[in-house]
Each structure stands twice: as structure tokens, then as C-alpha cells.
């Protein structure tokens, strides 16, 4: 230890001597880095699990052929390849999405993993090691028999001998379960129902199509490519790598989301860390002056404080990585509880999961401590001779003026973005973001001046205790402002999200009420992979009292680069199979929907047509990410913008030209309109009875459909709120931290107050009032900032269907009440410590 440089020894001794201060500061780093680390660990763990699954699904094969819309595979191709002398073995595979209904009549909920029907393949027949292994019972041999993976059977209570129902796009079939299987590719809630290969070909497919051909042998990739020009031929390693990259890009979502909230937490923590180091420097002014007097240089003093920051950053980041691992386990457990289980291949902690949180945590801590460290180095040796409280009144005029200017700039820029309706949504959103940054920075700088003004004014009455509390806040406005702003930022984010959510819900309800003509909606509900079978639409349309059925069929296409929706992976566009006016209230600007299904063409909203610079009669290019087929078709109809209807559509004829196989067509909803004068309740019941046999499909009234749409928004917002709550937790810790350190700094003051007759309860009340003022001020400023920014963002997103602005008044009213509670709770421990100060401290 004696060989360590003096500043490093000094830093370590100071950290060890102030364990409470260390813990409070480290917590801010831990809470931020844990989410950053958790995002990387979760992504790495999922990548590892899927990598293992993909590897197994290709292991044992040498070449792989994949079916594409342009070049579909057939079973005959597999037979031709198997006949070659240089091919050892060939496996032709296929699978299709189904609705699975258990023996009790309840639909199986896969949690998004999907339910699938596929031909049974024994280990002897398979090329790869991913074939099914019979765990119980036997393999399917004839029509009406099937096996199911053990994981799905356990979740749904299926045992051998039970009868299950499977529904695909064409038919409904009853199957007896004759065995349970183990499949290496089954993950989470995934359900795999397997039937005999010949049964699959004759009863559930066209008998020719295949999705993949796996080949083992000496045949080369070039040879197969020569046999089948244009087909997707790759080595098993190349196919596995390509599939792994696709999955990794999807899993990166988790890293981005958790990382974003982790950075928000670190941003809030930055103010706490900076505040802590500022107070540490203020409390150690005499110590620093003595060190300067005995010969320590400014650089050494600054270096000692920064060394403390490095140690705290390392400790906090290392602990954050540990908490991040626990966070991942919690997420996985919760997802499994909701049937969204992930493949379990163990936690994967890669270099990024360790290095990035460490670097980020240390960097944030050191940057937060930089200004206080420089202030420590600037202490003059003469300060060693001063007695008593080393705190001094902090000048705030310059920063307050700068803050006011930035506030004004932020308000002007965000208002400009909100009203520039002729600009694109992207341009307005970027401008709003820039304005929001200026506004928030302005709040940071101006808050200290606001505190000085508010608490310097002496209101009549109120008593001496509130007066002393306000005086203390005004004496250290920067400290009070930094503490308060941590809560301001969290509340502002919650307010923005709340207003966006309320506005989206109001827009959805309003659009459905005003623009939807349909009386009943059949929805695919929780089905993520299949959608509504075509037979269901035919059955509903045949009912008495049903005037029209308008399906919303989505296809992976874009019109002139524009899409109507997204599935999270690719762009989707509505396929017009009937006149949508039967279900929607649409104002046609030009053209018309007459004979829309059979006419090659595209339809656009007024805004979409303006963006593309086209009108009825002009041609646009329709493309798809899943095929090389394209088409140049005329714009046949333009309608007024409608929040309940898509901005972009193609006719059924055009969709059929580009994707004739319809495998990637997805029917999400059926909008059902009743005959005029029909008994709405009776017809709705008839629709329910007709749809019930399809298992997981939902039948909703118009009002229920609006509630269901809004509920999805609320569920998403609930997740965002839960993550944003982290910033509020950090802000509360910041208030506690500030009060605790403030009490340590003000022990002489408390001793003097006790000596002149102030009671313990009065000192405790004074500290509590300070805490409540900090919390309430932060909450109020956060609400004002959040409401303004929320309004601006809603205005900016008006082209995206958010046409109504709404404030969640119950939430806004709750925030100040919660702030008072936060202030009181945060002050409990610091107030008790302050009240215990002895009067003898006044003479120390």
C-alpha cells in the first residue's frame, strides 16, 4: 500500500471511511448499468440458444435448398436429387401454421411461438439430428393419427389417447394423439403436431410442395445450382449462418430497448453522482486546503477525486452486471409464466455484456465527477484556516439566463415542428427531438435560479421551521436543482408517454366510432402466425342478416416504397378483395372502388398520394421483399385520410400477380356489416356460433373492438411505465442521498439550532419539508415539461393516425400526490439522523 501514489492512497482511504456515501453513489451506477448489461446478456443468451437450435437443424446435412416464392421446391426435385450417385441421403421437409384445439375444446395458446403441422420423420429417415424422438407411445401410421411434442402436451394437458383438433387455412381435422415426441427445435410455447408423411401429402398439402430439401453426400453446390438455376442452394454452414444473422437482427430489439432505458437511468443517475461529488468536495474543503498547504498540487487533488470516481464506477458497474444477470432471469421467468418462454440454453455472457457496461458506467461516473474534481483542485491553502461551515452561497444568475434562453429556444423549436404540417413526419420528429433537448437543458440550468427566487421570498406567516427549510434550499440552489431535476426528468418522460398513450387511445376510439361502419369484427386475437382461415369468411358471409364481410388481408408489399402497416420485420400492405366502403366510412377523392379486386392497380390516401406525387391514372411500382416479382400498376383510387383505414393498398389482382402462392397473405380481421333492420344482437350471436369451432378467433362488437385495440396500447404502455419507473426510483435515491450528505455537512448548524431551543421534532420536520419541496418542485416542473413535449409529439405524429390530443388527468393528478409521498418517505431516515444531532455540535 505504501508504494501506491499519494492521491490513490488518499482516494481509497476516503472511500473506505465513508461507506454510506459510497453505497448511495454506487446504487445510481448499478441501476443504470444493470439494464445496459441485461440487454446484452439477454440478447447473447437468446442468440446462443437459437444458434444451437439452428446448428442442430442443419447438422448432418451438406447442402440445403430453400423454397422461395419465385422458385418453389417440389417433392419430385427431392426424388431427382436422391437418385444421383453422389448423394447419400435426402430429406424433404414442409410445415404449415395451424390452430390447435385441445381435447377440452380450449385453443392452445403458444404465446407467439406458433402451432405447426408437419410430417413425421424418424431418426433413420432424417438427414439431420433434429428429427423427432418418440418419448411415449408410437409414431403416427394412418389417417387420423398424430404425435405432439411433450412441451406443448404438458402445457395443455394432452396425453396419448386424447383427440385434438387442427385447423389450417383449408380444413378442420380431428386427430388422435398416439405419442409424445421430443424435438430439439421446440422452444417456449411452440407446438408441433406431426402426422404420417403420406397423410400430410394427401390430406394437408397439395402433395407436391416442399419448404426445404436437405442433402447429404458429395454433390457440390455448383452442381445443384446447375441442375436448378435460380433456386436457393447453399451449404448447411452458409444457411445456418444466414438464419443466425436474421435472428440476431431481430433479437437486437431487446438490447436496444433495455439499453435505452438503462441510458435513461444513467442520465438521471448522472445528476445524483455529480451532486454527490459536489457535496463531498464542499464537505472536504478544509481537508483539501490542508493537503494543498502541505504541498499537494491541484492536479493531484483533482486526480484523487477522479480516482474515487473510477473506483465507484468500477464497483457500481461490476455490481450492475450481476444485477443484469438477475434481471435476465426474472424476464425469462415472467415470459415463461405467460407462455412466451425462451429456449433454455443457459446464460451467455459475452465480451460486450461485460466491457460495454463497465466502460459506460465508469465513463458516466468520471464525467459526473469532473467538475467537482476540478473544483477540489482549485481550493486555496488559506481555506485551511477557516472555521465552521465551508458552504458558500452559489451564484446562479449566469446559468439562469443561459437556461432561460435555451428554454425559449426549445419552446420555439418544438412549436415550430408541431405546426409545420407540410414537412414530413421524420423531419418534424427530428426537429422536435432537438427542441426537446434544448428545453430539457434549459430546465436544468434555469431550475437553480427558480429555486433561489421561490425560496428567497419570505411569505407572511408559516412559522420558523418552513422558513428555515426554504432558506436552506435557497442557500444551495444548484444542489437542490440537481436533486429536483432527477425527478423532473423521470416525471417528464412518464408524462410524455402517458399523453401519447391517451392520445393514441382517443384516436383509436374516435376513428372506430366515426369511420368504422361494421357492426361486428372477427379478429385473429392471439394468433401470430396464421390469421383467419378463408373458410371462416365464407361461413360468416353465408349467414342470414349479414350484408357484407370485408377482410383485412395483409401482404408483404410496398407501393412506391410506402407500406400500410408493419409486422415488425417487413412492410405490409392491404390487399383489396372487396369494396371497403361496406365496412368503412371513406370519402373517395378520385377514382373508385368498383370492381376493385379484379383490376390491376393500387389505392392511396390523399397524404400518401401527395408524398408520392401521383394521382389517379399515374403508375406506381409495387414490390415485395419476399420475391423478385414487381409490377407497375395505375393508381385506381384515392381516398381522404382515415385513421381507421390503411393509407396504402393494392388490388387483389396485383397481389396475386406478385405473390400467386398466397402463403404469405395474412388475414387479420373480418369486418362484418349487418343488413339494415336486422336484429343486431341475434346476428352477432350467429357470427359467434359460426366462429366458435375455429377455436382462438375472437368475435367483438364495434365497441369491444375499440376497447380491445386500446387495451393493446395500454399493455405496451404498462411495460414502458415499468421501465421508466426505474428513473423515478433513482430520483428518490437521489433525494435521500442529497439529504443524508446535507445533514453530514450541516451538523454544526443543527447543533446550533438545538442549542437555541429547537426541538428534535422541529428539526425532523424541517428536513422533511425540504425533501417534500424538492420532490414537488421536480414533479410540477416535470409535468409542465412533459405536457408541452407530449402535445408537440402528438402534433408531430398527426400524419400517423394520432389525430386527437388527450391528457390522462387521473395520472397527472396522481403525480403531485405521489411526489409528496416520495418526499416524506425519502426524508424518514435523513430526518431522524438530523434530529439526533447533539447541541454540543455547536461548539465543535
Kindly tell me if the per-residue pLDDT of 1 is higher than 60: no
Mean pLDDT for the stretch of residues 453-471: 75
What is the pLDDT at residue 134? 87
Summarize pLDDT for 222-242 with one digit per residue, the tens.
888 888 898 889 888 888 888
Is 416 within the bounds of a domain?
A: no
Copy the grid coordinates of residue 810: 387521473
Do 92 and 230 lie in one domain? The reply is: yes
Question: Are residue 47 and residue 187 in the same domain, yes or no?
Answer: no
Rounded Cα gap, residues 566 and 573, in angstroms:
8
Backbone angles phi, psi at 39, to 5 degrees: -60, -45
**Residue 425: inside a domain:** no
Q: Which of 440, 434, 433, 445 is nearest to 404 (CA)?
A: 445
Q: 78: which residues sit within 8 A by CB, 6+ positions away?
A: 90, 91, 92, 210, 213
pLDDT-based confidence at 185, cuts 50/70/90?
A: low
Residue bearing the bigger pLDDT, 26 or 495? 495
Q: Is pLDDT of 479 > 60?
A: yes
Give the C-alpha separation, 690 to 688, whole Å.
Answer: 5
Q: What number is the average pLDDT over the span 442-463?
A: 78
Say yes or no: 237 and 107 in one domain: yes
Query: Which of 476-485, 744-753, 808-817 holds the top average pLDDT?
Result: 808-817
Task: Identify the pLDDT of residue 345.
Answer: 58
Query: For 530-564, how does the pLDDT look when each residue is reduced to its tens digit (9 = 90+)?
Result: 678 888 888 899 999 999 999 999 999 999 988 87
At residue 18, the pLDDT reads: 59
pLDDT, one tens digit per residue, over 249-273 is 766 666 666 677 777 777 777 777 7
Contact 723, 260 (CB under 8 A): no
pLDDT per position as a tens digit, 782-838: 999 999 998 998 888 776 667 778 888 888 888 888 888 888 988 888 888 888 888
Residue 106 falls within a domain, yes or no? yes
Tell me what the mean pLDDT of segment 653-677 comes to.
89
In a domain, 710, yes or no: yes
Q: What is the pLDDT of residue 458?
A: 62
Q: What is the mean pLDDT of residues 458-480?
A: 76
Q: Do the domain assignments include residue 775?
A: yes
Angle at 737 between CA 5 and CA 10, to 5 degrees: 10
Q: Output the average pLDDT for the chain.
A: 81
Proportion of the chain above pLDDT 90, given as a percent: 19
Give residue 2's pLDDT: 47
End of a domain among 696, 720, 748? 696
Domain check: are 109 and 219 in the same one?
Answer: yes
Most confident of 501-505, 626-630, 660-664: 626-630
Residue 666 and residue 750 in one domain: no
pLDDT band at 653 (very low <50, low <70, confident <90, very high): very high
Least confident of 114-128, 402-416, 548-562: 114-128
384: DSSP letter:
G
pLDDT in tens, 319-378: 888 888 887 787 777 766 655 555 555 666 777 778 888 888 888 888 888 888 887 778
The per-residue pLDDT for 536 is 85
pLDDT score for 179: 93
Are residues 234 and 314 located together in one domain of the fold? no
Nearest to 775 by CA among 469, 439, 426: 469
Structure-block grid coordinates of residue 444: 436544468
Q: Is the pLDDT of residue 617 over 70?
A: yes
Model confidence over 277-291: pLDDT tens digits?
777 776 677 777 777
Task: Give yes or no: residues 111 and 212 share one domain.
Answer: yes
Residue 86 vs residue 697, higher pLDDT: 86
Q: Are residues 164 and 134 in the same domain?
A: yes
Q: Which of 446-455, 634-643, 690-699, 814-823 has the lowest mean pLDDT?
A: 690-699
Is 148 a domain residue?
yes
CB 149 within 8 A of CB 115: no
Question: Mind listing the pLDDT tens digit for each residue in 57-74?
Answer: 787 888 999 888 778 888
**Residue 105 above 50 pLDDT?**
yes
Number of domains in the chain: 4
Judge whether 97 and 116 are in contact, CB under 8 Å. yes
| 397 lies in some domain | no
Least confident range from 219-223, 289-293, 408-412, 683-687: namely 289-293
Domain limits for position 90: 60-246
* 53 lies in the same domain as 76: no
pLDDT band of residue 591 (cuts 50, 70, 90) is very high
Judge contact between 81 and 240, C-beta under 8 A.
no
* 538 shares a domain with 665: yes
Q: What local confidence, expressed as pLDDT, does residue 405 receive?
A: 94
- Which of the listed residues 327, 361, 386 is the one where a domain comes to its end? 386
Q: Which of 656, 556, 576, 697 is nearest to 169 (CA)?
A: 697
The CA-based angle 798-802-804, given to 5 degrees, is 100
Say yes or no: 665 and 680 in one domain. yes
For helices 285-293 and 298-337, angle between their N-to-C axes, nearest 10 degrees: 140
32 within a domain of the structure (yes/no): yes
What value does the CA radius of gyration of the chain take, rounded to a whole number of Å?
33
Q: Which of 605, 505, 565, 577 is nearest to 805 (CA)?
A: 505
User: Buried (b) or exposed (e) across 642-671, using 16+ Cβ within 10 A?
Assistant: bbbbbbbbbbbbbbbbbbeeebbbbbbbbb
Q: Are residues 105 and 144 in the same domain?
A: yes
Final residue in a domain of this structure, among 246, 265, 290: 246
State if pTM tops 0.85: no
Q: What is the pLDDT of residue 390?
A: 46
Amino acid at each position: 500500500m505504501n508504494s501506491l501514489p499519494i492521491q490513490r492512497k488518499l482516494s481509497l482511504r476516503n472511500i473506505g471511511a465513508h461507506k454510506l456515501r459510497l453505497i448511495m453513489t454506487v446504487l445510481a451506477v448499478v441501476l443504470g448499468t444493470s439494464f445496459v448489461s441485461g440487454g446484452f446478456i439477454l440478447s447473447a443468451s437468446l442468440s446462443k440458444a437459437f444458434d444451437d437450435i439452428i446448428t442442430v437443424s442443419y447438422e448432418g446435412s451438406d447442402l440445403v435448398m430453400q423454397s422461395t416464392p419465385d422458385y418453389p421446391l417440389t417433392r419430385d426435385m427431392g426424388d431427382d436429387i436422391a437418385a444421383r450417385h453422389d448423394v447419400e441421403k435426402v430429406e424433404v421437409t414442409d410445415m404449415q401454421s395451424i390452430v390447435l384445439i385441445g381435447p377440452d375444446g380450449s385453443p392452445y395458446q403458444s404465446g407467439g411461438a406458433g402451432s405447426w403441422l408437419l410430417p413425421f420423420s424418424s431418426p433413420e429417415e432424417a438427414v439431420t439430428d433434429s428429427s423427432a424422438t418418440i418419448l411415449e407411445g408410437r409414431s403416427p401410421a394412418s389417417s387420423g393419427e398424430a404425435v405432439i411434442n411433450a412441451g406443448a402436451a404438458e402445457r395443455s394437458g394432452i396425453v396419448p389417447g386424447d383427440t385434438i383438433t387442427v385447423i389450417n387455412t383449408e380444413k378442420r381435422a380431428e386427430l388422435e394423439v398416439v405419442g409424445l415426441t421430443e424435438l430439439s427445435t421446440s422452444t417456449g410455447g411452440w407446438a408441433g403436431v406431426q402426422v404420417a408423411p403420406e397423410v400430410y401429402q394427401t390430406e394437408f398439402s397439395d402433395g407436391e410442395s416442399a419448404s426445404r430439401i436437405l442433402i447429404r453426400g458429395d454433390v457440390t453446390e455448383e452442381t445443384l445450382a446447375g441442375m436448378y438455376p435460380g433456386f436457393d442452394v447453399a451449404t448447411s454452414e452458409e444457411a445456418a449462418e444466414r438464419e443466425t444473422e436474421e435472428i440476431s437482427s431481430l433479437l437486437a430489439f431487446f438490447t436496444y430497448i433495455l439499453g435505452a432505458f438503462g441510458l435513461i437511468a444513467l442520465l438521471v443517475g448522472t445528476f445524483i453522482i455529480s451532486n454527490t461529488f459536489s457535496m463531498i468536495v464542499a464537505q472536504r474543503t478544509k481537508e483539501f486546503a490542508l493537503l494543498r498547504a502541505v504541498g499537494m498540487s491541484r492536479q493531484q487533488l483533482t486526480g484523487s477525486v477522479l480516482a474515487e470516481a473510477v473506483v465507484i464506477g468500477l464497483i457500481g458497474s461490476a455490481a450492475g452486471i450481476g444485477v443484469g444477470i438477475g434481471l435476465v432471469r426474472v424476464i425469462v421467468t415472467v415470459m415463461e409464466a405467460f407462455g412466451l418462454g425462451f429456449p433454455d440454453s443457459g446464460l451467455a455472457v459475452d465480451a460486450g455484456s461485460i466491457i460495454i457496461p463497465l466502460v459506460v458506467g465508469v465513463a458516466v461516473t468520471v464525467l459526473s465527477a469532473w467538475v467537482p474534481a476540478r473544483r477540489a483542485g482549485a481550493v486555496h491553502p488559506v481555506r485551511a484556516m477557516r472555521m465552521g461551515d465551508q458552504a458558500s452561497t452559489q451564484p446562479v444568475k449566469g446559468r439562469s439566463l443561459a437556461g432561460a434562453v435555451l428554454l425559449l429556444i426549445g419552446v420555439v423549436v418544438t412549436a415550430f415542428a408541431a405546426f409545420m404540417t407540410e414537412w414530413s413526419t421524420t423531419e418534424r420528429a427530428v426537429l422536435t427531438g432537438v427542441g426537446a433537448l434544448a428545453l430539457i437543458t434549459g430546465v436544468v440550468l434555469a431550475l437553480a435560479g427558480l429555486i433561489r427566487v421561490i425560496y428567497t421570498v419570505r411569505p407572511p406567516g408559516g412559522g420558523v421551521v418552513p422558513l428555515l427549510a426554504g432558506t436552506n434550499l435557497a442557500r444551495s440552489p444548484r444542489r437542490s436543482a440537481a436533486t429536483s431535476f432527477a425527478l423532473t426528468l423521470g416525471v417528464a418522460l412518464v408524462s410524455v408517454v402517458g399523453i401519447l398513450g391517451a392520445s393514441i387511445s382517443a384516436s383509436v376510439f374516435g376513428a372506430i366510432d366515426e369511420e368504422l361502419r361494421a357492426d361486428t369484427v372477427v379478429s385473429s386475437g392471439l394468433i401470430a402466425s396464421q390469421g383467419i382461415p378463408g373458410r371462416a369468411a365464407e361461413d360468416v358471409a353465408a349467414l342470414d342478416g349479414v350484408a357484407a364481410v370485408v377482410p383485412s388481408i395483409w401482404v408483404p408489399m410496398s407501393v412506391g416504397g410506402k407500406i400500410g402497416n408493419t409486422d415488425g420485420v417487413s412492410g405490409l400492405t392491404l390487399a383489396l378483395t372487396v369494396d371497403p366502403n361496406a365496412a368503412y366510412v371513406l370519402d373517395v377523392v378520385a377514382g373508385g372502388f368498383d370492381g376493385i379486386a379484379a383490376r390491376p392497380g393500387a389505392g392511396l390516401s390523399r397524404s400518401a398520394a401527395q408524398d408520392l406525387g401521383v394521382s389517379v391514372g399515374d403508375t406506381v411500382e409495387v414490390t415485395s421483399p419476399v420475391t423478385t416479382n414487381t409490377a407497375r400498376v395505375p393508381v385506381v383510387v384515392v381516398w381522404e385520410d382515415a385513421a381507421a383505414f390503411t393509407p396504402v393498398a393494392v388490388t387483389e389482382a396485383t397481389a396475386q400477380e406478385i405473390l400467386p402462392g398466397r402463403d404469405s397473405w395474412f388475414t387479420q380481421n373480418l369486418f362484418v356489416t349487418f343488413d339494415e333492420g336486422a336484429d343486431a344482437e341475434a346476428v352477432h350471436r350467429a357470427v359467434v356460433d359460426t366462429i366458435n369451432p375455429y377455436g382462438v378467433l375472437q368475435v367483438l362488437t364495434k365497441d369491444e373492438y375499440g376497447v380491445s385495440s386500446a387495451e393493446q396500447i395500454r399493455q405496451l404502455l404498462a411495460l414502458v411505465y415499468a421501465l421508466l419507473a426505474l428513473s423515478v426510483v433513482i430520483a428518490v435515491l437521489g433525494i435521500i442521498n442529497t439529504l443524508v450528505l446535507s445533514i453530514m455537512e450541516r451538523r454544526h448548524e443543527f447543533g446550533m439550532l438545538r442549542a437555541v431551543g429547537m426541538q428534535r421534532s422541529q428539526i425532523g420536520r424541517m428536513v422533511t419539508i425540504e425533501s417534500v419541496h424538492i420532490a414537488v418542485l421536480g414533479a410540477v416542473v416535470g409535468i409542465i415539461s412533459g405536457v408541452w413535449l407530449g402535445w408537440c409529439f402528438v402534433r408531430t405524429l398527426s400524419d400517423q393516425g394520432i389525430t386527437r390530443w388527450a391528457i390522462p388527468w387521473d395520472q397527472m393528478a396522481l403525480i403531485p400526490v405521489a411526489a409528496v409521498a416520495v418526499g416524506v418517505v425519502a426524508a424518514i431516515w435523513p430526518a431522524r439522523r438530523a434530529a439526533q444531532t447533539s447541541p454540543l455540535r455547536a461548539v465543535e
